[in-house]
Amino acid sequence: MSQIGNNIKKLRNVKGLSQQAFADLFGLTRGNISSYEERRAEPKIEIMLQIAKYFSIPIAELLEKQLTVNEILNFEDYFPVESVIVDAGSFAKIPYLDREYFRQYTAGDNTLENRAAIHLPVDSNNKFLAIENSSFVPHPAGFAFDEHMILFVEQVTVDILHTLNDHFGYFGGATPFFGRYEISGKEIALVLNDWKKEVYSAGNAAHFWKLFGKFERVL
- Is the pLDDT reported for residue 91 higher than 80? no
pLDDT given for residue 10 in this prediction? 87
DSSP reduced 3-state for 211 = strand
Predicted confidence at residue 214, as pLDDT, reads 86
Of 219, 214, 173, 205, nearest in space to 76 by CA: 214
pLDDT of 162 = 86
CA 126 to the chain's CA centroid: 12
pLDDT at 123 over 60: yes
Which DSSP string corresponds to 25-38? HTT--HHHHHHHHT
Q: Does the pLDDT value for residue 59 go beyond 90?
A: no
For 106-110, 129-133, 170-174, 179-183, which range has the lowest pLDDT when averaged over its residues?
106-110
What is the pLDDT, as a whole number, of residue 183? 92
**Average pLDDT, rounded, for the chain:** 82
Q: What distance in Å separates the CA atoms of residue 219 and residue 217, rounded to the nearest whole number?
A: 6
Considering only CA atoms, which of 145, 128, 50, 137 is closest in space to residue 102?
A: 137
Q: Once rounded to an integer, what is the mean pLDDT over residues 8-16? A: 84
- Domains along the chain? 4-75 (1.10.260.40), 82-215 (2.10.109)
Q: Mean pLDDT over residues 104-125, rounded?
A: 68
Strand order in the sheet with 128-132: 117-120, 92-97, 128-132, 150-155, 208-215, 168-171, 177-184, 187-191, 197-199
Q: What is the model's pLDDT at position 83?
A: 37
CA distance 9 to 6: 5
Question: pLDDT-based confidence at 217, cuts 50/70/90?
Answer: low
Q: Are 117 and 95 in contact (CB under 8 A)?
A: yes
Band of pLDDT at residue 114, cut at 50, 70 and 90: low
Q: Quick one: what percent of the chain has pLDDT higher than 70? A: 83
pLDDT at 79 (0 to 100): 40
Q: How far apart are the first and last CA of the chain?
A: 38
Report the alpha-carbon distance of residue 64 to residue 66 in Å, rounded: 7
Residues 19-55 have pLDDT tens digits of 998 898 889 999 999 999 998 999 998 888 888 888 7
Enter the DSSP assignment of 47.
H
CA distances, 157 to each of 41, 89, 137 (Å) = 32, 24, 23
